[in-house]
Amino acid sequence: MPLEGLKGRKALVTGAASGIGASIVERLKREGVHVFATDIHPVADSLVADLTNSEEVEKLSAKVGTPDFLINVAGGPVAPTRAQTLPALPSKSLLLEDVDEREWSGVIAANLTTAFLVCREFAPRMKARRFGRIVNFASIAARRGSDRVGVHYAAAKGGIIGLTKTLALELGPHNITVNAIAPGFIKTPRIEAAEWGNASPGFIEGLPLKRAGKPDDIAGVVAMLCSEAGGYVSGATIDVNGGWYFGP
């Protein structure tokens, strides 16, 4: 059975060029959703924008109009730049003293400011329409902490959870749901390319579901939240981690 409430709707997916974002684009298209994809990393059929810059967010919104579904995937443990739009992930754990102020600001901006600016741009239009589904991306790094990705990423993703709960309260009266997904270990091509992408067999065996996640595992939950099944779910952070950690 196809999911109810998706066909014919319009979605904007940020961070759509690769990994989880790309998988969400494919999934929503399969459900008959008209999808706008955006990323700082240029790929075919996507709108290039640096979402840490409010002017670029405004330009993007002129092209997109009012989406029904806003899926804020943009982010990652390393901030992209114009020169390096899809930066490689570090091969080692990032310790507190290794994070300088520039990296701190960059990662907060790439993960948290982007979601803030994009929500601020599109939510008023959703309010005018009295319909919207916003899905933000937190991380297991915000739920259990992380011994890998660094404090900046964990802090930014924790910020996403606060932003999500606050927007759920603020936008609820306008029939807009706001939720977050907190993925666990998801084997995206970028993670696979990093050294720690090859998680030890012991780690994988220790997960209740005994496997790493796939981008499609996340796309299914996004589709669920946009469908009828997500109609009364708001303010929630949903852990999709194979049983690794039972937040909050």
Q: Catalytic residue positions?
A: 153
Query: Listing from the earlier edge strand, what are the strands of the sheet with 237-240?
Result: 47-48, 34-39, 10-14, 69-72, 132-137, 176-183, 237-240
Closest separation in Å from C-beta 54 to another protein = 26
By CB under 8 A, is residue 234 in contact with another protein? yes
Give DSSP secondary structure letters for the chain: -PPTT-TT-EEEEESTTSHHHHHHHHHHHHTT-EEEEEESS--TT-EE--TTSHHHHHHHHHHH---SEEEE----SS---SS-SSPPPPSSPPPGGG--HHHHHHHHIIIIIHHHHHHHHHHHHHHHHT-EEEEEE--HHHHT--SSS-HHHHHHHHHHHHHHHHHHHHHGGGTEEEEEEEE-SB--HHHHHSGGGS--HHHHHHSTT-S-B-HHHHHHHHHHHHSGGGTT--S-EEEESTTS----
| Total residues binding another protein (CB under 8 A) | 44
Q: Which stretch binds another protein (CB under 8 A): 43-51, 92-100, 112-120, 175-183?
A: 175-183
Candidate residues 4, 55, 58, 100; the one interacting with another protein per rule CB under 8 A = 4
By CB under 8 A, is residue 241 in contact with another protein? yes
By CB under 8 A, is residue 22 in contact with another protein? no
Candidate residues 67, 75, 76, 230; the one interacting with another protein per rule CB under 8 A = 230
By CB under 8 A, is residue 177 in contact with another protein? yes
By CB under 8 A, is residue 128 in contact with another protein? no
Candidate residues 16, 123, 142, 223; the one interacting with another protein per rule CB under 8 A = 223
Q: Which stretch binds another protein (CB under 8 A): 36-44, 50-58, 73-81, 239-247?
A: 239-247
Candidate residues 90, 106, 158, 235; the one interacting with another protein per rule CB under 8 A = 235
By CB under 8 A, is residue 213 in contact with another protein? yes
Closest separation in Å from C-beta 145 to another protein = 18
By CB under 8 A, is residue 207 in contact with another protein? yes
> Which one, of 59, 34, 31, 29, lies nearest residue 47 by Cα?
59
Q: Which stretch binds another protein (CB under 8 A): 9-17, 61-69, 129-137, 170-178?
A: 170-178
Give the residues lining the site for another protein (CB under 8 A): 1, 3-4, 164-165, 168-169, 172-173, 175, 177-178, 184, 207-210, 213-214, 217-218, 220-221, 223-224, 227-243, 246, 248
